[in-house]
Chain A
Amino acid sequence: MANGSGPRAGERDPFIRLDRVSKSFEGNEVLHGVGLSLGRGEVHALLGANGSGKSTLIKIITGYYSPSPGAAAWVGSSPATFTRHGLSPSSGPALLTRAVHQDLGLIGRFSAVDNTAIITGYAGSRALGRIRWRRQARKTRELLAVVGLRDLDVHKPIEDCEPLQRTQIALARALAGWSEADGLLILDEPTASLPDDQVQQLFAIIASLRARGITVLYVSHRLSEVFEVADRVTVLRAGAVVARAPVAELTRQTLVELIMGAPDQPGGSAPVSDVRHAPPVRRRPATVMSVTGLRSAKLRGVSFELAPGEALGFAGLIGSGLQELPYLLVGAERAAGGEIRVGQTSVPARKMTPLRATALGVGLVPGERMREGLIGSRPVSENISLPQIRRFQRSGRLRRKDEHAFGQQWVRNLGITPADARHEVRLLSGGNQQKVLLAKWLGVSSALLIAAEPTAGVDVAAKELIYAELTRQRDLGLPMIICSTDLTDLVRTCTRVIALADGQAVAEFAGDEISEDSILRAVLHRDAAQQEGSQRP
């Protein structure tokens, strides 16, 4: 659809224009004078790798962050200021900025009526503030019709709806009270939670919005989608704009290179040298862990072996099964089939439990630090000792001194601040909490360590420390499996990386082949190939 539409007026007569937008967090500049211009009624794709600054830029546009001084913006021809509610033009009609985020922000137990009304307000009532449900339902249906959702039971809890229907409800909600030409709709990875067969339908909806003159800023890292829905593209790399072009002038290959930087261009992608310090892996005959045919809702038969001293990384997009994999390996989520062998012990994947995993010396550093990993109201030492609490019990009594000493030792080893294991975990910073979590699981992982998103939500310095500790443990011979959507994690710590796409292993890299570039290429190309292979009406 985009390819046939010809060059649009966007470049010469932009609807929204941003200039010199910079942003720093704690001294790190993550956006360096970025410019963006959106034509009225165009679908504009914003592309970039992890950490390229896409999310930050969006959050500046929606008003969640304010940019560093010096940024300028125009809406139409009038200058605009950055406010908490988005861009505010100095004259003319206000600009409506609505964003639909990846997780949609809906309440699963509520119906479509409530989910929309919670933003738009409930229909006017008479006495006692009573909600006029019939009118409210009619209003909701009208909203949903805008995005082509007609025969939905609007009173059904939306957790019972199809993923596409949920996306449509979120879209409809974002478009409520919208008068065509004065708004900007931001779609942040809208297809991430959609099954493949519903992606095309979403594209049709986006096309219809565009036909109505709605301006869409479309964020994705699935390149094939960009070619289907977008008119123009802005590519960010390392916080700066590296390309701005109509989609029709681009090929997939050039786009990948724009996102990653040209392969031979030094500094184009993040430094990859650290992994070279890893000692060559001596292949011993024994394997630490071998997994065969691991299946679940997302995984469609994944097999791999982990050799002693190896750090095996898994990469993949959201929805590839990557998020599930570490939990399946320790039985925190129930697998559908497959077999997991640790050392000499073989366990059907379905029968794996966290208790069994810890008994086998397999520890999982879970991804959601505070929800899955730590007990915020308890001291550092108690958090670290929990998976092996029995060790601190002698003749029927818990030896708190031993427990504290153990925790204190980890605190010093990982440089956790404040350097006192008696502090409650919730009082620590994110990076230090992550170190506590790492300590907790390094302590039990006698056979191997599994880490899910080991550096999510930590600052750069803490990240370095976590990398240092992981590589140190690896070099000391602790085998590990690292599952991360942050490719830097994998490049910095792994000796071998398997790329997952669509629930299957699609590529494998070892030693010098490991780079963010190569991994991302594998993941993206697979995605692209898949889209091409299964064209739907």
Chain B
Amino acid sequence: MTEIPGTELSGTESPSTLPTPPAGRREMPEWLRAFGFRRQSIVYVELVAIAVFLVWVPATFAATSTVTGILDQNAVTGLVALALVVPLAAGVFDLSIGFALGATSIFCAWLLGNTSMNVPEVVIISVAFAAVIGCVNGFVVVTLRIDSFIGTLATGSLLQSVILIVSGDQDLTAGLTPRFLRLGTASVGHVTVPVFVMLAIALAIWYVLGHTALGRRVHATGLSEVPAKLAGIRTDRIRFCSLILSATISGIAGILLTAIVSAGDPTVGPSYLIPAFAAAFLGATQFRDRLFNAWGTVLAVWLLGTITAGLALTNAPVWMPYIFQGVVLIVALSMGSWRGRSIRLRWPLRPVPPGHDGEAPDPSGAAGLAQDTAGI
């Protein structure tokens, strides 16, 4: 290929001088803005919740066991919520994750009770099983082009039948060796293994989605598919893989759950779906980018977990936690600049570039007029 001039702008090593940072702004420093309520509302709401419970039930709430309890009890929910983050970022729903969790949990318990495999083999095969579930989802949603919302609901229904076939609608407890159960109960400094697994996966998702080119492609796919495609991104492949990943992470959650409750419980899966969605969407309101992200999701899980645990200590009626969860979600989602219209524009310290005092141009207005006058 011939050397073509005129592309001197196209490289990062362009001869032009690098831009100077824009100066003379009314703007909070970046580190300070990072603590703004708009970006981290969950942290503040969490602090308020903790303060409330400290006043309400000081004796029981202010204990190490409360903290570790909240962490332990929400590790599986956290994993399922993290599993959702990836397909949501890529613009697909995965409503089958609860069933994928349940199916893998049962499958793993069945392997332990009916084969002579050792624990690592069981774990590996169960994870592979979960990945196969993800492939089925990918086939249905991406290859068959069925809308992901209904497509994964359908595969979820199939998984429910798998759960019932394998379990015979019974708890599977046979063959759960102590060595296997340690997956759920072994702890480092009062914090159990599942919490570390969740944190490790959160770390991985955070890094890939936020700090790699791959992550950028995933977000571009989810935000606007046509420009992503035209930019050379294989959006189908990304969506397919995101569904494999979500099922696999749910499967890992299922294995851990089996170890935590010492049984393969055929009824347990679907109950994780709603808290996981809540946490993933709440998490997407956090941090600068307002995209689906790992740490926001983890924080959201912990917030909802704190409320549930705290209310349990106050002997509140059983319906109370649901009210709180619902209210917190609605409030956080409405304030947390979800797609950021109102709050963003009203925020007083919003950077206002000189000579452009807030006349946010309306693309349908000015552009529309110009187009009309030019139209043939």
Q: Which residue of B lies closest to A421 (CB)?
A: B19
Cβ of B4 under 8 Å from chain A: yes
In the complex the two chains form, is B213's CB within 8 Å of A390's CB? yes
**Contact assessment for A456 and B371 in the assembled complex, using a CB-CB cutoff below 8 Å:** yes
Residues of chain B with a CB closer than 8 A to A447's CB: 1, 4
Q: Contact mask A372-403 → B, CB, 8 Å, 1/0?
A: 11111110001001110111110011100010
The size of the chain B interface, using a CB distance under 8 A, is 56
- A residues 467-490 with Cβ under 8 Å of B? 473-479, 485-486
Closest 5 CB pairs of A and B: A430-B367, A476-B6, A408-B19, A457-B371, A429-B361
- Cross-interface CB contact of B216 among A377, A398, A405, A473, cutoff 8 Å: A398
> Which B residues touch A392, using CB under 8 A?
12, 213
B339 to chain A, nearest CB (A): 7
A366 at the interface (CB under 8 A from B): yes
Contact status A354-B16, CB under 8 Å: no
Q: Which residues of A contact B230 (CB under 8 A)?
A: 330, 332, 354, 364, 366, 372-373
- Docked complex: A393-422 residues within 8 A CB-CB of B: 393, 396-398, 402, 405-406, 408-413, 417-420, 422
A398-B215, A420-B353 given as contacts; is B373 within 8 A of A30 (CB)? yes
Interface segment out of the listed A210-218, A355-363, A528-536: A355-363
Is there contact, CB below 8 Å, between A429 and B366? yes
Within 8 A of B (CB), among A237-267: none
Roughly how many angstroms separate A398 CA and B1 CA in the complex, as a whole number? Answer: 29
A102 to B19, CA, bound (A): 46
CB <8 Å contact, A354 and B229 = yes
Knowing A393-B213, A418-B356 touch, does A373 contact B227 (C-beta < 8 A)?
yes
**Given A56-B373, A457-B368: A308 and B2 interface contact (C-beta under 8 Å):** yes
CB distance from A536 to the nearest CB of B (A): 26
Main secondary structure of the interface of B (DSSP, over half): loop
CB distance from A338 to the nearest CB of B (A): 20
State whether the Cβ of A344 lies closer than 8 Å to any Cβ in chain B. Answer: yes
Asked whether A391 lies within 8 Å of B12 as measured between CB atoms, the reply is: yes
Check if B231 sits within 8 Å of A358, measured CB to CB: yes
B374 touches A51 (CB 8 A): yes
CB distance from B251 to the nearest CB of A (A): 26
Q: Is B231 a contact partner of A397 (Cβ separation < 8 A)?
A: no
Q: Is the CB of B229 within 8 A of A49?
A: no
Q: A56-B373, A417-B356 are in contact. List 8 more A-B contacts (CB 8 A).
A: A51-B373, A386-B220, A398-B212, A433-B367, A446-B7, A457-B370, A476-B5, A477-B4
Contact residues, A448-478 vs B (CB, 8 A): 455-460, 473-478
B374: chain A residues at CB < 8 Å are 50-51, 455-457, 486
Contact of A55 with B by CB under 8 A: yes
Residues of A within 8 A of B215 (CB): 398
Q: Verify B232–A413 contact, CB threshold 8 A.
A: no
Instruction: Determine the chain A residues whose CB is within 8 A of the CB of B9 once the complex forms.
Output: 409-410, 413, 442-443
B63 at the interface (CB under 8 A from A): no
A-B contact pairs, 12 of them (CB 8 A): A53-B373, A54-B376, A55-B375, A284-B2, A359-B232, A386-B231, A389-B217, A406-B12, A409-B14, A417-B353, A418-B356, A459-B366
Return chain A residues, CB-CB under 8 Å to B24. Answer: none
CA distance A221 to B375 in the complex (A): 12
Which residue from chain B places its CB closest to the CB of A405 in the assembled complex? Answer: B18
Q: Roughly how many angstroms separate A250 CA and B102 CA in the complex, as a whole number?
A: 79
At the interface, yes or no: A139 with Cβ under 8 Å from chain B?
Answer: no
Task: Render B348-362 as a binary contact track against A, CB cut-off 8 A, 1 for contact.
Answer: 000101011000110
A25-B370, A478-B4 given as contacts; is B363 within 8 A of A433 (CB)?
yes
B213 touches A398 (CB 8 A): yes
- CB contacts (< 8 Å) of B233 on chain A: these are 354-355, 386
Taking the complex as formed, is A300 at the interface, i.e. its CB lies under 8 A from any CB of chain B? no
- The reply to whether A446 and B375 form a contact with Cβ atoms under 8 Å apart is no
A410 to B11, CA, bound (A): 11
Residue A426 interfacial (CB < 8 Å): yes
CB distance from B316 to the nearest CB of A (A): 39
Asked whether B10 lies within 8 Å of A430 as measured between CB atoms, the reply is no
Determine the chain A residues whose CB is within 8 A of the CB of B2 once the complex forms.
284, 286, 308, 343
